Structure 1
């Protein structure tokens, strides 16, 4: 009951803020507080929010209502984010949230690269909460905010050449060719990705898709332990974006599972191509630290990406996943 009440209070507190700040930087607070609550740290939620509050901006003004007849014209227009959130709020208020998600997931999936993959990650956190606990108004509203943010930042990627891949997810990530110029913001780097290795392309069975998606999340998380120094913040998304998709699968119709795998692979591989370091570093084992101790270190550090990567690492729970979380703590600037 304490976790439910605190999380709902935090989400209500956050829904007066926009999904971005200074024009393009993502508001990570809804994702981070959900991770804290899910990991049994609800008591730290408001203290963490007090530190993060300086990064919040007011909810933006609307432009024009999104309609069932005209939604395509508004798709991918970040100026319409308030309109999109209002639209999904109405939809979820009138229909079961799973029905809304199932209708819009295939429409939004091709554009999961927009907003540096943050919108799909926000949706994944919202869905995890709805699946795991009580369905409350603040949690339904959070799903509306996540879907609305995704629709506003929707950005497809097409024309990628299929490159030689590997059988395993880890091998395929190793086969990713880094972009020639690794500077600039996410959109500019994404424009330089012209080809990605082929992996799991023939998977159509839903259960196999789910298994391979879990393999990808594990491989991308493990890889952060040795490659995270390429860009300590952005490479987090190579693991957290596919994990958001994996967390959403149980709420989706099974025919959508294989397309979800393929989109998640493209996103994870693209992030890897954009931010991969020139060479890996040696893997440093976590020693005797338990998963709970690692999460406490992440919470004490406070950085939102560290919290979210550690949350994903705990889903895996093995030695190298915990080492990845500790690497993020080492590399990232703490929240102060």
Structure 2
């Protein structure tokens, strides 16, 4: 095959799989709604099962359901016949995948699933198959042709199964009002979890690391405080420690442009009054959005009396994995 032949083959495969998904979209009907309702009201778990390539897709569907608020796990149908059927209960909903609907390992366990009273949802390309006829709700993937030119390797059919599984998971996610924070709780080990779960108080500098000067401080002394604390800014507070303003690297550049006497000019004449501040309990991601919106590189963290108790900058966000 030439390079052109490889490209033509790849494009034809993608084209056929797109057609399969489009057909699935056109055929989505009330059965999809009934399947969602069964899964939403399930008091137990969604148990997904399938053999071969359908099993691989089923495993992914179970993982997607579990990570988006619908408790689910995958059970290999062959193992189910040798003891793992004990994982099933009447409170569960079973989601079974088989392109033909006649996969022997799946068909073998159908009577036992029906006997325990667990509702059954099927995903199959054959609505007249044993699996589809046994199901309480049958979901049909209208795939007449695999992308494989031999018509043998599951390609278009498994793509349609995967898309249908994603559709179920997202419909249930929306029905449950599943939030980004809920999602983060099931993904605490990754960068997404850090981004969504970390709070400002988890990463801010505290105590003596917080740069702060009094109102009678001269600019040059404020610069020394900024240099020592390495955050590119300093808080300006009154005698009670209440935040009055902030002096940043940007303020310094503007001060130098004015040619002011750094040794004798009070910091209050050049500080930014008020300054952007946040509470320690907000999410670090929220603080990052605020910094990006206002085009600033550092933030002060204050208590309920508006006294600085912490500080952080973009480097802290980067170090914590929030960026």
Give the alignment's TM-score, normalised by structure 2.
0.20
Question: Which entry has the higher C-alpha Rg, 1 or 2?
Answer: 2
The structure whose residues are more often helix, as a share, is 1
Higher relative contact order (Cα pairs below 8 Å, separated by 6+ residues):
1
